[in-house]
Amino acid sequence: MISIDLASQVPLATQIEQALRCAIAIGEIVPEQELPAVRQLAGDLEVNFNTVARAYRALETSGLVQTSRGRGTFVSAVVEVDKTRALNRALAGIRQALADARLAGVKKQEIEAILSEEAAAFWRR
């Protein structure tokens, strides 16, 4: 379902949250679908269950999932995300990625081509 990078400087819980957020956004995980149990996903990813629980709590706080004690965690039937907050979050991520790319010597044209391809692929799904 998702993968994480143990060598990344991005916290594991954040990686898990971002991967699940993306899977929900592209319809890989659909509304009302149950997410794996915290302990199950933690075992699959070989991380502490508290790490997965932190990611699930972040998703719940943002309204993307709902947890029902004893039943599990499900993607919300109606996902409503604040557009302004979403755009600000996207812009922050894009700025960070652009800074990293520029520091690595990546040319502007290369980045523009990559962003265009990724956006097209993302909205095509």
The model's pLDDT over 66-89, given as tens digits with 9 standing for 90+, comes to 998 889 999 998 766 778 888 888
One domain for residues 24 and 57: yes
Q: How far apart are CA 46 and CA 42, in angstroms?
A: 6
Query: What CATH number has the domain bearing residue 23?
Result: 1.10.10.10
CA angle 7, 85, 47 (to 5 degrees): 25
Measuring CA to CA, which residue among 103, 80, 81, 83 is closest to residue 91?
83
34 assigned to some structural domain? yes
One domain for residues 59 and 110: no
Q: How far apart are CA 60 and CA 88, in angstroms?
A: 19
4 assigned to some structural domain? no
- Counted domains in the chain: 2
Q: Write the pLDDT tens digit of every residue in 91-122.
A: 998 999 999 999 999 999 999 999 999 888 88
Pairing of strands 72-75, 65-68: antiparallel
Looking at residue 121, its pLDDT comes to: 83
Domain limits for position 99: 83-124
Q: Write the pLDDT tens digit of every residue in 3-22.
A: 899 899 999 999 999 999 99
89 assigned to some structural domain? yes
- Judging by beta carbons within 10 Å of its beta carbon (0-12, 13-18, 19+), is residue 112 exposed, middle or buried? exposed
56 assigned to some structural domain? yes
Q: How far apart are CA 33 and CA 40, in angstroms?
A: 16
